Structure 1
Amino acid sequence: MMRVRQFCSALILAVVVQNVAIAPQTFSSELKEEVIEKKAYTLAELRNLIHDGEMAFRTGEYQEAIAICTKALAGFETHNHFEGMGTAHNCIGISHHSLGEFTKAVRQYEQAAVVTQPLDNPRQQAAIANNLGEAYRQLGEIENAITYYEQALSMMQSSQDLQVQPILINNLGFAHMELENYALAQDYYLQSLEISSAENYQYEMSYALKNLGEVAFRQGENQKAIAYFEESLQITREIDNRRVTALNLNSLGKAYETTGQSDQALTYYQEALGITTAMGDRHSTGRVLKNLGSFFQTQGDTELAIIFLKETINTYESIRGEIQGLETSLQESYLSSVESTYRDLADLLLTQNRILEAQRVLDLLKVQELSDYLYHVRGTEETEKGTGYRPPEETFLALNQEQTEQLIIASKRLADLEKISPSNLTEIQRQELISLRKQQNAERGKFRAFLESDEVQSVIGELKSNLSTNESLSFNLSQDAKLKEQLQTIKQSGRNAAIIYPLILGDRLEIVVVSADTPPLRHTVPISPAELNETILEARQALTTPPKSYAKSSNSNASLSKLHDWLIKPIESTLETANIETLIYAPDGALRYIPLAALFDADSDQWLIEKYDINNITALSLTDFDEVSALHNFDLLAGAFPSQGATLEFGTRQVPLDGLPYAVREVETLAETVPSSSVRLDEQFNGDIIYEMNSYDVVHLATHAEFVSGRPKDSYIAFGKGEFATLEDVRDWDLSNVALIVLSACETGVGDTLGNGIEVLGLGYQMQQQGADATLATLWSVSDRSTQLLMNRFYENLLDGGRTKTVALQESQRAMLTNDKFNHPYYWASFILIGNGL
């Protein structure tokens, strides 16, 4: 996936509205932002409204532009004037776009395309196609963006309307720069600059110069880049284009930072932040905040770096919540583009031993990864708050906001005065303009002084003092209180539990451990991602291909032993000191493909399951441990895939499935084991079973199921007669009364290239969201006969009373170790419990 880059391309308006009468058609007006008061506008008045909306957009008054153009839209609809309607939709769209409200923007562009499709207006249609291209590009869909840009340019090349062409050419260059085709990108920018300079199109010139600077910067030509940025900045200030002014300032900050001129870099970043904040442009604000965080990290000002990266994450979280209405590929592109910032912040917090705050960020990362896979993750009340702030950080943010607001107020007033022609200024206005420009120049040099002020240094000193006195270990964020409450609830149930959060970073593995009675701890294991992934693949192969003859200490366990030494050995003494019996595991990345139970301790010649019972979770904030109780007398609904095979059809894709004779026996035996049980076999095991599930405590499905990396629509649970449910279909299930759902024959597909494993936990999350407390699933397809044995023992353990789900599973897996035929981990380690198994 392509990352969202730190430079700009151009949105354009189609503002030429002709007095054309068009036959009435019916179009949805559901996209209107508010109820507009009825007023009969003439077409001339509506054209003026659109002009005012465009001016509001160009000066960064996006909400005002939306209000004006929405009013114009209502007026054009009363006239059945579809060219005007298209222009209004486009105006509303680009304003939402600039606010980072991508769902609303795309819908407006699409509506504009619909209403203008019958018209012969290539300029307007090119504008709409261009803006759709912009939306796709900013969401990382570069190839789609290029298609729209080329479509728009082909519409205009046969016309004599030169003003739109440089923008479209510029945007094509921008897309190719995203793909790192720098020579081609530069050619496009020079073409754009040539046309716009010849016609003195200043707005278009500023974009071309800005992006020529980006090409130079990316190729290490910093002074050349700075010259381009400053030339573009001079134009954007003169024409009062605040959006591109802010982007120029941000780019200048990065360029000056790269050349070691930190004070100038900081000045430009601060001014850019003031402008983007005033405009409400969250997308650009996030970029500036991230640059500020990286700047302070490079400068060694860790406390400030953390504050600005937290602000970045919270900005991303607000955008993430808004884009959930977009199609899945766009959400995936955007989310993958910001993932590194979450890891960077967690990394930085861990290096400062701020463990609980890092765990909070890891939770947000896991929610984001789930959203990347499932596209509809709601999060919780806690995750919606974003990252937490320490009291000194809140003090700093308040001080910084006060300073930024002063800059914003002065900037907005100056922008208003600069709109007035010099010959029309009153003497008072002229003096005010001079005063504000002096103030602006003075403010640019104040940010460093602000950071070095006694107030700010006092805040930083307080933060460092608290951290040095181990305040980081007991800091009472709201999530800290929730964490302790959850762990105490588990302890009161009679099990000492520890939460284990590994984090895969570029040069190491960080392991976070939190328990009820010990302070949160972190352990660092130097390991490259390449070596870690290679070991995971080897371990996966060892687990899924049992040898004909098997010895517990065989060389095939070497990779599992390595993983044990990396993940468990560093925290072994901590677990022993706290008398930990239950591991609550929130794996990261490709570690999700390896069951923790199968890690092998070569020193003690033991599997990890012989020491601990294990409960997997997606993220602590998404798992409710408030109710911790064992199952006793429970009602069971069990269904089995038939002995005869079947074929599933996904559109043009066909998936042949073998019959599962042992699955039928498995369910029949369960019916004999569990007194209160109902079974669905053969013809009765069909899609209707989903409507029965919520009447039972436990639902057991002995059937084919596959969970595919990156493709929830291709992930399925099979029923008889070729019926199936995709992982997305599970969203409609009601499992609110279900304590446990078991899928005893499912698998996750892993090829030569590892994914991030989120499909493994995505299943558990989906079941939890529909109400089930926990899910028992398999990571690979297992022998029917061994599954039958393990499942029977598992249910016997549950019925015996007093055992939690995790303990019942642990004892079942340990029992398999005594079976000479099925003691290889292939037969027992595949089963993992996800959710509240306590």
Structure 2
Amino acid sequence: MVWNQKKRGSQKKITGDQWGMTMNQRWVGCILAGFLLAMGLHGLPVIAQVSPQMGVMEQGVSAYQAGDLIRAIAQWQQALTLNLPPETRALVQQNLALAYRDQGRFDQAIQAWNEAINLYRRHRPKAPEIAQWQIDQAQAYSGLGQDQRAIDQLEPLINSSLDPQLRILVQGALGNAYSRIGKYEEAIAQFTNALNSPELHPELAATLLNDLGNTYGRYYQDRQRQATGAEIEGDLDLARQLNEAAATLKAKGIAALEQGMAQSTDPLRQAQAQLNRHKLAPNPGQWPAIAEAIAAQLRPLPPSQAVAIAWLNLSQQLESDQPLAQTAAAAALEIANHIGDQRSQSFAWGRLGEWYQAQGDDRRGLAALEQAQFLAQQSNAPDSLYRWQWQAGRLFNHRGDRPRAIQAYQQAIATLQTIRGDLVSANRDFQFDFQEAVEPVYRELMALLFTGDSVALVGPKQESKLANTTTANSVKAALDVLELLKLAELQNFFGDDCVQVAKAQGNAQEAIAASNTALLYSVILPEQTQMILQAPDGRIIHHRVDISQGELEDLIEEFRYLLELRITNQYRPLAQKLYDLLIRPLAADLAAINPDTILMINDGALRRIPLGALQDGRTFLIEEYAIATTPSLSLTTSGIPTDQTRIRALSVGLTVGRDAFAPLSNVAQEITAVQSLMGGAETPGSGIHDRQPPAKPLK
């Protein structure tokens, strides 16, 4: 956020979403064009308040206004070596913070704002600049994906006595931060309050409407995903309600974006709103003309990070084989080079790499991706680095260079592992993007590792049946990748540290060997499914099932539906068909191993059905073996010794029918069985009785 205060009474400040965690599938907010220097709240430029010897300050201002951020930063860094009064030093730090922010160097911007704020707190504790800089700093935290930290800094400001204009800015910044962590109602409330302010400037209103439209877009996506989940679970009424809610949110988002476009006269803000509207409600027929119109709006604008991001967003929304996609990425690169924004440079080179690959020019595509990776490393941007490593892996695979493809994928996953927790806890959009922007990295690597493999038995006590040990190592490597994927899925679902805590406690391998437990993994890939059996002594057997993901999911969905029809046995043919596909190829190996328990780590749709219900035509799998399930072996804590005599269980059940639910005739037997295993006695008034349940819930 930047102030323009060269003249008294002309003060205005614009908010907008800062750089997101990833560029694809992201609701990008509006960032004001033509960033100007922060000049203080007294109507005088900073350079007018310093001595004539401070020509270096004037040179920095001139360079900044010309878009030459590199020279501006150099001049202001030189100014800090002079003997400056505290207030002047604070203003220099503020100027540096703005320039760092404009280069995407948010860490350094935050540090510079800290210096400015601390100096003013010591020498001008009641100055309104302090609140202004805190707002700017909070948005820099959001630029790093640390939205909760931004909220923690902004919420006290909203309750303080602020200038009305500053209050609007706090509300806008809070709205964006709430939106990015999934608190949509709170975000909408902040934007609505800001938009209802009588002191609202028309251009700032346009920005707030754009941000509000983006928030409705995120909310709409959230409801759509929930509706899809409800459909998968068979709750069609809930799915219908969620789809209706999603349609309403989409309509509100479109209305807000269109209102913002109509209210603004700024070409950059109009271009950003057009991009956001197309992302929310694509119109393929009109999009080519709209894209050209957006490009025409962006071409004459002076160089800034906001313009570079707009060009990148335009390129991202175009198909990779379209000429304008390359033109837009090249324009973003030119601007990023000019202002020294390595983060934008990295995204521009990465997008060019994708474009070259779409043209069949693998050599130039790889060169561009290598440059993108280098710049991502230089700018400490692992959230973009993994994308270019992943894209390089795809390109190497396309060229048939399997070893280098595997290496690139492994690098991408290693990068993801360093940032997964930060991304999920910081940015809810990243959770939404998991299936499109994260999960495929793991699955594509597993598909590569399984390429060309056949049924194999490998392990420390038996020689590999394969021609060489490369495949044996690939199977083990694929299992490692699968475990990492399971952990990423769970952390993405919970969005907190509980998965890491459980992982640190889990050490199941020794317990598996001691308890004669066999592991059975399933890995569902687009064109195949792998079933992997690990014996208690570590031997690995794996079998490829030649069935597409879609075909298998259709079978699973039908089986689950039939399984829930309790009055028929229509599920039995499908139970045998799935057994023949998934279990029978490993049945002889299971019999030879003769485990006491099979611990299943199922993948995808297989997690929605009990594999114990599969049968070979005579007996169910659960009749042959004790079966346990876990989402990830790394989270299995069965290796921790447990004093069985100290276990206490509360068993509660209801046998009578109620409302639309039929009686559950086997509950009494199940509770009795649990009681025989765990001990304890039935408590009067809270055990199983064939009567209506108590009016008050048990505590």
Q: For the superposition of Structure 1 and Structure 2, which TM-score range results when normalised by the shorter chain?
A: 0.5 to 0.7
CA contact (8 A) 2:94 2:113 kept: yes
Structure 2 distance, partners of 1:16, 1:360, is 51
CA contact (8 A) 2:30 2:272 kept: no
Structure 2 distance, partners of 1:86, 1:326, is 23
Please state if 1:567 is matched with 2:612. Answer: no
Structure 2 distance, partners of 1:3, 1:262, is 24
Change (3 A) 1:206 1:638: closer
How far is 1:505 from its partner?
A: 1.3
Change (3 A) 1:498 1:323: same
Change (3 A) 1:382 1:266: farther
How far is 1:212 from its partner?
A: 3.6
Structure 1 distance, partners of 2:373, 2:24, is 17
CA contact (8 A) 1:126 1:152 kept: no
Alignment of 1:268-667 (within 5 A): 268-326=368-426, 330=429, 332-337=431-436, 338-351=438-451, 353=471, 354-376=474-496, 378-380=498-500, 485-490=510-515, 495=516, 497-517=517-537, 519-547=539-567, 556-602=571-617, 605-627=618-640, 636-641=648-653
Q: Which amino acid aligns with 2:432?
A: S
Q: Which amino acid aligns with 1:143?
A: G
Structure 2 distance, partners of 1:613, 1:502, is 18
CA contact (8 A) 1:153 1:168 kept: no
Equivalent position SS for 1:624: coil
Structure 2 distance, partners of 1:81, 1:349, is 61
Structure 2 distance, partners of 1:186, 1:126, is 36
Q: Which amino acid aligns with 1:368?
A: A
Please state if 1:144 is matched with 2:156. Answer: no
Change (3 A) 1:508 1:175: farther
Structure 1 distance, partners of 2:519, 2:367, is 43
Equivalent position SS for 2:498: coil
Change (3 A) 1:201 1:374: closer
Change (3 A) 1:6 1:266: farther
Structure 1 partner of 2:135: 89
Q: Which amino acid aligns with 1:71?
A: E
Change (3 A) 1:99 1:249: same
Structure 2 distance, partners of 1:198, 1:263, is 33
Structure 1 distance, partners of 2:113, 2:682, is 61
Structure 2 partner of 1:5: 24
TM-score, structure 2 as length reference: 0.66
How far is 1:52 from its partner?
A: 0.7
Structure 2 distance, partners of 1:75, 1:43, is 7
How far is 1:176 from its partner?
A: 2.6
CA contact (8 A) 2:395 2:405 kept: yes
Structure 2 distance, partners of 1:91, 1:188, is 35
How far is 1:500 from its partner?
A: 0.7
Q: Which amino acid aligns with 1:243?
A: R
Q: Tell me whether 318-327 or 614-623 shows the greater mean CA deviation.
A: 318-327
Structure 1 distance, partners of 2:560, 2:138, is 51
Q: Deviations over 1:69-114 (max 9, x none)?
A: 23334456664455652443334433x4444445445655767777
Change (3 A) 1:639 1:613: closer
Structure 2 partner of 1:128: 173
Change (3 A) 1:169 1:569: same
Q: Which amino acid aligns with 1:69?
A: W
Please state if 1:723 is matched with 2:691. Answer: no
Q: 1:19 aligns with which of 41, 44, 49?
A: 41
Change (3 A) 1:112 1:287: farther
Structure 1 distance, partners of 2:640, 2:679, is 23
Change (3 A) 1:367 1:298: same
Structure 2 partner of 1:677: 680
CA contact (8 A) 2:389 2:411 kept: yes
Q: Deviations over 1:633-663 (max 9, x none)?
A: 67654443567889xxxxxxxx987887975
Equivalent position SS for 2:543: strand
Equivalent position SS for 2:639: coil
Q: Deviations over 1:132-168 (max 9, x none)?
A: 599479x9977038979986996797677x4xx5146
CA contact (8 A) 2:181 2:426 kept: no
Change (3 A) 1:382 1:536: same
Q: Deviations over 1:488-536 (max 9, x none)?
A: 222xxxx3x3211101111211112211346323211111233222222
Structure 1 partner of 2:76: none
Structure 1 distance, partners of 2:673, 2:328, is 76
CA contact (8 A) 1:92 1:108 kept: yes
Alignment of 1:737-748 (within 5 A): none
CA contact (8 A) 2:90 2:116 kept: yes
CA contact (8 A) 1:639 1:667 kept: yes
Change (3 A) 1:721 1:589: farther
CA contact (8 A) 1:236 1:245 kept: yes
Runs of 5+ consecutive residues of structure 1 not aligned to the other structure: 22-39, 386-478, 647-654, 686-700, 704-717, 726-838
Structure 1 distance, partners of 2:301, 2:673, is 83
Structure 1 distance, partners of 2:39, 2:130, is 6
Structure 2 distance, partners of 1:374, 1:520, is 31
Change (3 A) 1:527 1:371: same
How far is 1:366 from its partner?
A: 1.9
Structure 1 partner of 2:330: 230
Equivalent position SS for 1:90: helix
Structure 1 distance, partners of 2:412, 2:115, is 34
Change (3 A) 1:245 1:185: farther
Between the two proteins, what is the percent identity of the paired residues?
20
How many pairs are equivalent? 551
The structure whose residues are more often strand, as a share, is: 1
Change (3 A) 1:52 1:384: farther
CA contact (8 A) 1:601 1:607 kept: yes
CA RMSD of aligned residues (A): 4.6
How far is 1:601 from its partner?
A: 0.3
Structure 2 partner of 1:169: 271
Q: Which amino acid aligns with 1:488?
A: A
Q: Which amino acid aligns with 2:682?
A: V
Q: Which amino acid aligns with 2:697?
A: E
Q: Deviations over 1:156-184 (max 9, x none)?
A: 97677x4xx51463255046337644566
Q: Tell me whether 295-304 or 175-184 shows the greater mean CA deviation.
A: 175-184
Structure 2 distance, partners of 1:625, 1:80, is 59
Equivalent position SS for 2:530: strand
Structure 2 partner of 1:756: none
Structure 2 distance, partners of 1:178, 1:569, is 47
Q: Deviations over 1:732-777 (max 9, x none)?
A: xxxxxxxxxxxxxxxxxxxxxxxxxxxxxxxxxxxxxxxxxxxxxx
Change (3 A) 1:519 1:117: farther
